[in-house]
Amino acid sequence: MTGYGFDQHDPMPGTVLNSILKIQPGLHSDKVWHWWTPRYYQPQPPFQFDSYRTECRLRIVGHAVVQIGIDFRDATEAIHELGVSDWCFENSGQWQTLIFDSQDFLTSTSSYSVTKSANLYYSCDNKALTIDYKNITPGQYILELVDLSGKVIFQSSRSFPSPVGKDIIPCDLCTNKIIIYSLISDTDKHTGKLIID
């Protein structure tokens, strides 16, 4: 964070037509564009809501990524980040919905919490992807693998009958070096980076 008077920006080079903001970050590849909606003031007493949500419909054409989130100011006007969404990549120029919802946070009043995990490993020798999971909610999941250009290179529906186990998936990913993955169900979400040696 910078001090007062130092957080100055050039105007965003965008146009608005039919309520759609269009920007071309490729014309200014040395910039990271960040914009805000008008402030919403919480009436007194504060914190009348259980959660906060922001949703954005977007279309990415070319090499760009988008992330949304929620910031808030306290009584002293200090800015704090409530949280951010996952990154959204180009998807063949199709419209996508990007959501950040603070209700997705795992909260508990107990003295301990159970760590949920889903780790991915890849073997070029066996041409197989292994998902090693524990303490997840059993059920149907969607696995999606995205390369660094934002292209979806693999997608599969997976069924996990128990909270702990391994799932081995035959697939050829050896031509990729770094892959972003997401494993999502109605109740759980696991994301991360897979490095292939």
Q: Tens digit of pLDDT for each residue in 11-35? A: 777 888 888 888 887 777 777 777 7
Kindly report the pTM of this predicted structure. Answer: 0.48
C-beta neighbour count of 96 within 10 angstroms: 14
Same domain? For 100 and 122 the reply is no
Q: Is the dihedral of CA 48, 85, 171, 164 positive or negative?
A: negative
pLDDT digits (tens, 9 = 90+) for 86-144: 888 888 889 998 888 877 664 444 444 457 788 888 899 999 999 999 888 999 999 99
Q: Is 94 part of a structural domain of the chain?
A: yes
Residues 124 and 178 occupy one common structural domain = yes
**In a shared domain, residues 19 and 98:** yes
Same domain, 32 and 87: yes
Range of the domain at 126: 117-195
3-class secondary-structure state, position 27? helix
Per the domain annotation, does 4 fall within a domain?
Answer: no
Note whether 152 and 90 are same-domain residues: no
Could you tell me if residue 3 is inside a domain?
Answer: no
Q: Domain count of the chain? A: 2
